[in-house]
Amino acid sequence: MKKVVLVIVLAGAAQAPSSPSPAGAGAEDLTASVYSVDAAGRHLEVLTGVGHALRVVAMEVEPACEIKVEAAPALLRELKPGQIVRIRYRKTDGNKAAQAIETVPKKAEGGGQ
């Protein structure tokens, strides 16, 4: 009897929804490579993997978007193609709007681990 109750409790806990992120309800995260930056138009395109394919994802950059390059505050124009970034964004009318962008630190190069 105790095993059945324990299984039911664990199954219920696994299905419980996670709490919303501090950045706001509906925010999602994406890690990708910068493909192009239009600082004047506040537009960003990133390249991400989907299964065995690559996909370009376009998004607007909100005016209040917090941008960090190597953990330091930065401007949108400082992002360069090829940089790996983690983006917090929200969906708006079928589009994506970036709320926070930060570069992902490079790992040490060379040798096996």
> Residue 95: which CATH number?
2.40.50.320
Residue 72, amino acid: A
Overall domain count for the chain: 1
Q: Is residue 49 part of a domain?
A: yes
What is the domain extent for residue 77? 20-103
Q: Specify the pLDDT at position 20.
A: 38
Q: Is residue 3 part of a domain?
A: no
Q: Is residue 29 part of a domain?
A: yes
Q: What is the pTM of this model?
A: 0.71
Q: Specify the pLDDT at position 28.
A: 95
Distance of CA 100 to the CA centre of its chain: 8
The C-alpha atoms of residue 104 and residue 68 are separated, in whole angstroms, by: 10
Q: Is residue 7 part of a domain?
A: no
Q: 65-105, pLDDT tens digit by residue? A: 999 999 999 999 999 999 999 999 999 888 999 999 999 98
